[in-house]
Amino acid sequence: MKRVSSYLKMRVLGAIESAPGATIVARIRHVSEQVFLDEDGRRFRFTWRTIQTWDSRYKKDGTTTVLPKPRSDKGKTRKMAPEEVLEAIEQVRGNFHGPHNVTAFYRACIEHGLLQRERIAPNTFRRVVKAHELLKPEAEVQGKRRLAFAKAHTNELWQADTMVGPYVQQGAGKVQAKLIAFLDDASRVVCHGEFFVADNTEALLKAFKTALYKRGLCECLYVDNGSNYSSLEITQVCQRLGTILCHTPVRDGAAKGKIERFFRTVREVFLTRRLDLSSLESLNRVFASWVEDEYHQREHSSLGMKPIDRFGLDASRIRFLSPGDVSDELFFVEQDRSVLADNTFSLKNTRFEVPRDLRGRKVQIRFDRLKFDRAIVYFKGERMGEARPVDFVANDRKPSKSAKASPQESYDVSEVEL
């Protein structure tokens, strides 16, 4: 069927103005009974719903057709992030010498099991590589125009990154330590730096938690696009703290110039010393002493003063976290659970009782992923209390007559199948 021309649509809409009827609906229904001729003399009749749709669109957008809308995920990969593609390329890059095309890298990633065709097709791989310059030499990617900047006040911006460190003794063998550090942009103070055996989300959260307790809350955290710094856990923690989590462009480590310059100082000054590498604890103890006694106490060339003194100038602006269980809960991982009819839920093969009557509701449970000893219940962003494991034997006993049950606890557990 030939599409209705704009000329004919406007004739139909014009007829609404002169049609009889007390309401717009009545006038549209009257027009729907009329016959209209197009430019070629062909006869048309339209339903009142079609005419109403044209009229509504014309009043809203000035046109009778649906305006094309761009896709919300245009330019984005839905199944794989560019960072995952870059990690796969870096693992096979050593197998290539000299220039190679994108297809060869894609085939190598597939053969090594680093990528799956059902997650990223060859054309998508080629488009991601070209858009983010993943196969260009590092010097060409970083050779872009930059502007030097510095925040005006302490804790307005922290830069964070991970650096590969020395090998330390662990058990019968040796493992390579990784340094996770947080640097204040305004004062160059190391909010916290610590070596870890594993470069994972748990280590990042532990270092971030220590930095917040030591130096106060930061307004913005500037990190790269690594899997740890893009994880759900670090995003949730920043959201609870009111900290803006910002990521650098893909493969643009030079954007975090201050933390990269600090890592250079660590390599040239600290790691060149004769260090005690008998254990990770010994390395961290020496590193903490070097940061506090030497790095913070030496005049910084860009500041013209000691970093720790510059940090102290804004002492009145710093907001600290109060040590305690409530503050620790900010760093817990969060999962959704549906409360059953007996006011319980299951988490990690354990049945818990909700502290309030939330039967049939969906709640959020926060818990420590490393030490699972508490489960905190949140509902619509409000803390409901700590859940306790179900005591089936205690629930089987009838309450005493003197005990008056509150309205929230007045349900009969005997009628619910456990």
Q: pLDDT (tens digit, 9 = 90+) per residue, 45-86?
A: 999 999 988 888 888 777 677 555 666 555 555 667 776 787
Contacts of range 56-63, beta carbons closer than 8 Å, 24 or more positions apart: 58/13
Confidence of residue 94 (pLDDT cuts 50, 70, 90): confident
Q: Cα separations (Å) of 91 from 96, 113, 115, 122, 156?
A: 11, 11, 11, 18, 36
- 406 pLDDT band, cuts 50/70/90, is very low
The domain covering 158-317 belongs, at the CATH homologous superfamily level, to: Ribonuclease H-like superfamily/Ribonuclease H (3.30.420.10)
Q: Where is pLDDT greater, at 132 or 147? A: 132
Q: What is the pLDDT of residue 407?
A: 45
pLDDT at residue 303 tops 80? yes
Q: How far is residue 164 from each of residues 52, 93, 177, 393, 418, measured CA to CA in Å?
A: 66, 19, 6, 53, 51
Residue range(s) occupied by CATH 3.30.420.10 in the chain: 158-317
Mean pLDDT over each residue of the chain, to the nearest integer:
82
Q: What pLDDT is attached to residue 408? A: 44
Q: How far apart are alpha carbons 277 and 165 in whole angstroms?
A: 11
- Spatial CB neighbours of 158, under 8 Å, sequence gap ≥ 6: 182, 183, 184, 185, 191, 211, 218, 220, 221, 222
The predicted pLDDT at position 410 comes to 42
Sorting pLDDT into bands at 50, 70 and 90, what band is 147? very low
Q: What is the pLDDT of residue 89?
A: 82
Nearest to 50 by CA among 71, 31, 73, 22: 31
